[in-house]
Structure 1
């Protein structure tokens, strides 16, 4: 297995070099040169595997034997050894047609832990094996930052800087990042929105001299390993629900940056027989508009009750577009150039028909989000966070009477109590979250100014 850039101007790389590159040096995103296909017989064999065993089976297709199995197994066991349930991502049956895959049992109570606990171990492993410094740089709309920091805090040879939009993440998300006082962690709170933070990150990774001089590495979903690690729980969910019914299975995924849903697309391309992949967004509904009309055009930014999806420029969209245009790097590059110069791209005809075969999508309004939380608490005594509520609303919109729906619960509701309290629901915070409110914060507030952010990084990386 080799890895190539969506834009076609990077020599094929191995697995570890792909991990270290993050954003491709030509500005594209790294993808496998070919997607391995898993047979139906193999899927059946995998049905009884634990989460950790399944992880190792899937990664074996992608690592090129660059990491000895015993080393990979140790990383996987360490990564998931601190989750609050042995299943890692347990499945909760809500009713006859709906299952919820709970992805919030990691240390920061969000789905990002599932990939980032492993990525922290992987970066630490590479740093020790190659005796190289690793400086992780990322932007977050809320959950990635806390999970990434938790994954690498205190690790020798690694420093991490996370940019988050000032005042536009939930209080718990902010505290999970900024109460960390480790010397290898820098939190920059940026005046602006997530897209502003993400643009600075992409610009810095595109500056190859700066990237090389400061040993920059990516932990956002621009890094293919994030995508691959998330693919595991699609297989896990499908294989554990499929045995209970002969109905077709749909998966509904809260999605802002297109990374989580692209992991599902990859799983489906590998042979996992998912029926519908349903994209749930909020009022920042660029992905819904693309699926329904073929137009991909960032609109005006809206703050919502589901802030982790308050995104207008979805980084991983480029990976999907690459496959949509038949893995033609020239076509892909032309589309991305047009997006840069004209502010939008449009797909039509057969391409749009293919999009609509690949995905359904719903942009959930704030009121509908809160109503869904209230409904499921009242009818099933099951409390949803606002992002999961968007996923449930999308499931309700697209799940057929003869189909089973799996919705991903991407965060614990305690992380978004600002929304929960609006519908007069009082929840008990887990002890780990409750303790955050008594801890001092450590963050630097900066303007949305690339030069100022560079100065902060240069001082941190000394």
Structure 2
């Protein structure tokens, strides 16, 4: 598999190099030089999830890693389901929160951890990543206890839920967590600065587990096929998928699935009040405004890092950006939708409620809508309990983490301080 740097197309790398480097020159994202097309999609949709995922990822990686290796990595990573729950007549929720940290990030993080461990061998690595909520827990769980791999996670102080924080800031061992004075965008900027520091990269074997890492994106393609596979056959070609969007890695993976041949009519990029992309799709002006804190905090991103990949993919496929709908959902709309879902018999959380509301605003009569359930409702217990008048019981993984002491250290929004800690 060959990839190129979107900022410097002359820089080309293999998948293994892209996974190890994370970013190219000048913070450039790596993007596939060619996109595999599947000619047996109907057969694939009839297969079990893991077997289908092996076939999908072998289309990308089989030539480089070997088909048996890819199969082993996938089977070891994908040990949980992604059920499609019917919410009402024309809306389904793809539940991506049945993994060990109860969030969709488990799919990409577990696959990436196994790929990196396979590639690194006995070499020591440092994984540096920023999280707006769920990435931290998924990455920490995926890499916890792995030999020769240290993980450093940055997150915005006071801007993630207390249970999200407990899920990855109580492990210790090879997991170090830093609470940063600033927003997720500030955390992400610090990560990017670290990757531009060549002496630092060499000294600690720096790598990333954010959605900037191509291994995570490829893994996420698989559950889009699983969503469509669970739809009644007569509804598949009218499927509209609404993606709760923050850093836009999830939407990128969905578009890659469509590029491979998955029958999806269209995608909706659903955001909260941090609506850079919906405004851009509406008026053509890329205007980044200060990040606003919302209940759907994992989407509190004003400068989505994966957006250049979306544009590169549309250009490669000859798709107009006008085919991608951006819908911004206010806090009041999010709260109203969460309540409506519960009254209809489905318990959800703010991120999925944003995506469901976007579907409600956009879906045509003949279409069938799928929204992504990216986290277990209990991970946002405070908001869900407050809005719905509940006292949600905690799943075992959350209950165990909730009583552990936080092990995080405070970090000023300073690259010099981060560099010193990393060294």
TM-score, reference length from structure 2: 0.96
* Paired residues of 1:15 and 1:62 also in contact (CA < 8 A): no
In structure 2, what is the Cα distance between the partners aligned to 1:235 and 1:120? 22
Residue 296 of structure 1 and its aligned partner are, at CA, apart by: 1.5
What is the match of residue 206 of structure 1? 196
Residue 418 of structure 1 and its aligned partner are, at CA, apart by: 2.0
* Paired residues of 1:253 and 1:408 also in contact (CA < 8 A): yes
**Partner of residue 398 from structure 1, selected from 350, 358, 362:** 362
Are 2:259 and 1:294 equivalent residues in the alignment? no
3-state SS in 1 of match to 2:308: helix
* Paired residues of 2:236 and 2:263 also in contact (CA < 8 A): no
Residue 9 of structure 1 and its aligned partner are, at CA, apart by: 4.8
What is the match of residue 99 of structure 1? 92
In structure 1, what is the Cα distance between the partners aligned to 2:125 and 2:381? 35
In structure 2, what is the Cα distance between the partners aligned to 1:253 and 1:382? 18
Are 2:223 and 1:223 equivalent residues in the alignment? no
What is the match of residue 69 of structure 2? 71
**Partner of residue 102 from structure 2, selected from 109, 133, 144:** 109
In structure 2, what is the Cα distance between the partners aligned to 1:55 and 1:12? 26
* Paired residues of 1:10 and 1:25 also in contact (CA < 8 A): no
> What are the Cα deviations for residues 249-279 of structure 1, in whole angstroms up to 9, with x where unaligned?
1000101001101111111122222111011
In structure 2, what is the Cα distance between the partners aligned to 1:119 and 1:166? 26
In structure 1, what is the Cα distance between the partners aligned to 2:212 and 2:197? 16
What is the match of residue 47 of structure 2? 49
In structure 2, what is the Cα distance between the partners aligned to 1:268 and 1:296? 25
Q: How many residues align?
A: 422
* Paired residues of 2:247 and 2:305 also in contact (CA < 8 A): yes
1:231-250 alignment runs, 5 A limit: 231-245=221-235, 248-250=238-240
What is the match of residue 366 of structure 1? 331
In structure 1, what is the Cα distance between the partners aligned to 2:313 and 2:47? 30
Residue 26 of structure 1 and its aligned partner are, at CA, apart by: 3.9
In structure 2, what is the Cα distance between the partners aligned to 1:158 and 1:23? 19
What is the match of residue 3 of structure 1? 3
> What are the Cα deviations for residues 332-376 of structure 1, in whole angstroms up to 9, with x where unaligned?
xxxxxxxxxxxxxxxxxxx9x92121x112111111111111111
In structure 2, what is the Cα distance between the partners aligned to 1:323 and 1:67? 24
Residue 324 of structure 1 and its aligned partner are, at CA, apart by: 4.8
In structure 1, what is the Cα distance between the partners aligned to 2:276 and 2:260? 27
> What are the Cα deviations for residues 53-93 of structure 1, in whole angstroms up to 9, with x where unaligned?
11111111211533233332222222123x3xxxx211111
Residue 207 of structure 1 and its aligned partner are, at CA, apart by: 2.2
Are 2:162 and 1:171 equivalent residues in the alignment? yes
> Unaligned 5+ residue runs, structure 1?
328-350
What is the match of residue 119 of structure 1? 112
> What are the Cα deviations for residues 366-410 of structure 1, in whole angstroms up to 9, with x where unaligned?
11111111111112x211110000010001011111010011100
In structure 1, what is the Cα distance between the partners aligned to 2:89 and 2:190? 46
What is the match of residue 140 of structure 1? 131
TM-score, reference length from structure 1: 0.88
* Paired residues of 1:98 and 1:404 also in contact (CA < 8 A): yes
In structure 2, what is the Cα distance between the partners aligned to 1:409 and 1:291? 24
* Paired residues of 2:228 and 2:236 also in contact (CA < 8 A): no
3-state SS in 2 of match to 1:451: helix
User: CA 1:71/1:58 → structure 2, altered by over 3 Å: closer, same or farther?
Assistant: same
User: CA 1:294/1:147 → structure 2, altered by over 3 Å: closer, same or farther?
Assistant: same
> Unaligned 5+ residue runs, structure 2?
none
* Paired residues of 2:91 and 2:368 also in contact (CA < 8 A): yes
* Paired residues of 1:280 and 1:361 also in contact (CA < 8 A): yes
**Partner of residue 80 from structure 1, selected from 78, 90, 109:** 78
CA RMSD, aligned part only?
1.7
